[in-house]
Homo-oligomer: A and B are copies of this chain.
Amino acid sequence: MGRPPKFSRQRLQDAALAIVDEKGSGALSMRVLAAALGTGPMTLYNHVAGREDLDVLVVDAVLSRARWSRQPDADWRAEVREIALAGWRAVREHPRAIPLILTRRTRSTAALEMAEALLAALARSGCRGRRLLVAFRAVMACIMGFAQGDLAGPLAAAASENAAEVLARVLSLPPDRFAHLIEIAAAARDSSAEEEFLGGLDLLLAGLEAQPAAS
């Protein structure tokens, strides 16, 4: 009795994230992670509930690396921007984990902490209840949606190794049916993902400003 666990949660997180970073989210498995830790598959069941838990482990590892500071004196928009940008950057640091994050964010306690911080900042604008809920969900959608687009969007800029390939595919589309798509593919090539994300976020913030008591 009372034997100390063989692996810390941190150790599991690091090993699982390393596998995803190196081989992609599809390469993570009980057996592969166990092998990376130098043990048998069944040993992992002493630390996680099952396969699904492995994904959550990775999501939590990625999101818990997001850092932001409280800025009670600054404008609430600046605070929202900082938290959202920290979240987006943390996700972007681990592009191969994005499919997992999109899909399991909910189970991660680190995601809950980010949500609470975002809500606190948004609440400083004065909105409450349903309006606060909508504002929060819109900002969260912005973070996750832009991260998803960066993953492999039809306009994916740099970063991803197959971005050039995706761009080529868009450019080879029938120009009569996809005129606008082709047109902005060029704009995407000269644009940075972070600028685009901040641009989208600022649209949202401008909308919050413009609709202060609506809905």
Contacts and interface: CB of A to CB of B under 8 A. Distances in A.
Contact of A102 (B103, B116, B166, B200): B103
A84 B113 CA distance: 30
B133 A181 contact: no
B146 A116 contact: no
Contacts of A200: 134, 137-138, 141
A180 interface: yes
The A contact surface, by secondary structure, is helix
Most chain B beta-carbon neighbours within 10 Å: one of A136, A146, A180, A203: A203
A32 interface: no
A211 to B, nearest CB: 5
Interface string A127-151: 0111111111110111111101101
A53 to B, nearest CB: 15
**Size category of the binding interface on chain A:** 35 or more
A180 B102 contact: no
25 contacts: A99-B102, A105-B148, A106-B153, A112-B154, A116-B177, A119-B183, A130-B191, A132-B183, A132-B187, A133-B187, A133-B191, A134-B199, A137-B146, A137-B200, A138-B145, A138-B204, A141-B146, A141-B149, A199-B215, A202-B207, A202-B214, A203-B208, A203-B211, A204-B207, A206-B210
Interface of A: 99, 102-103, 105-106, 111-113, 115-116, 119-120, 123, 128-138, 140-146, 148-149, 151-156, 166, 173, 177-181, 183-184, 187-188, 190-191, 196, 199-200, 202-211, 214-215
